[in-house]
Amino acid sequence: MTAAAQTAVLTETAYAKINLALHVRARRADGYHELETFFAFVDAGDVLEARPADADVLELHGEFAALLAGETSNLVTDALALLPHGGAGWHVRLDKRLPVAAGLGGGSADVGAVFRMVARAHGLPDGWPALAARLGADVPACVDSLPVIGRGTGTELAPAATDLAGCPVLLVNPRLPVPTGPVFKAWDRVDRGPMPEGSARAVMLEGRNDLEAPAITICPAVADVLAALRHGGEAWAARMSGSGATCFALYDSDAARDAAAARIAASRPGWWQMAGRLR
């Protein structure tokens, strides 16, 4: 490693994860669930900076940093403990722009950004996908942060055909955290069939999120967000992401997306929003 590499500041975006569809097929004997999902990623999210340090340090900033400040451990430091990243350690500055417990894979996206920084600086070790899976079921998908099909618990990845790269997207969250565990527990265990095959657009139009109904029973505001995204006719599709409470809508143009964002901001000024495009 060169002297320049030893002092360079690495910067990565932790791209927000959304699920174009999320079909829950069964509850397994080990307590996990068999899933079929289409992971997609927005070109915006948390931002991480890393520089060499005497030890691994995580510095939290941003709108949602306070929600992580009391944690005894963090996925970023857990990832650094698993990955050889040169020298004594890294000082990582995390600008937490994504809400927590929001269905956007925020912590997993942060880990994916760490993996990409380590890959750029030193290369990833053999068997890194297994290391990623140890940190969370959607972490392997978040490393590349590109469209991919997830099966099993979400760690069994397969290539995805995407025709939505660059599609304008709007994320909206009512600023209410929804923990994943209770939502899965509230699922009614009815298998409503496999995720449709085909392009990303087809999956978005023909698929579903089986966790929407149980999430709404826990957080009724999810239904309000979906109604707001679907009202006005700007979006061609809208859905809850992951286990909620964030919902998203897709648009044919930036102008349509921005009109929806302005309309929702005027009627619900307390809700969180993020606008972007699909990667």
**Which of 17, 46, 110, 210 is flagged as catalytic?**
17
**Which of 46, 95, 110, 138 is flagged as catalytic?**
138
Are the beta carbons of 210 and 192 closer than 8 angstroms? yes
- Estimate to the nearest angstrom the gap between the alpha carbon of 56 and the chain centroid: 24
b/e 216-232 (16+ beta carbons within 10 angstroms → b) = bebbebbbbbbebbbee
- Please choose, from the candidates 13, 23, 28, 8, the residue with its C-alpha nearest in 3D space to the C-alpha of residue 62: 13
Largest CA distance in the chain: 58
191 is catalytic: no
b/e 159-194 (16+ beta carbons within 10 angstroms → b) = ebebebeebbbbbbbbebebeeeebbeebeeeeeee
188 is catalytic: no
Give the whole-angstrom CA distance, residue 275 versus residue 272. 10
Rounded to 10 deg, the angle between the 106-121 and 75-82 helix axes is 30
What residues are labeled active site? 17, 138
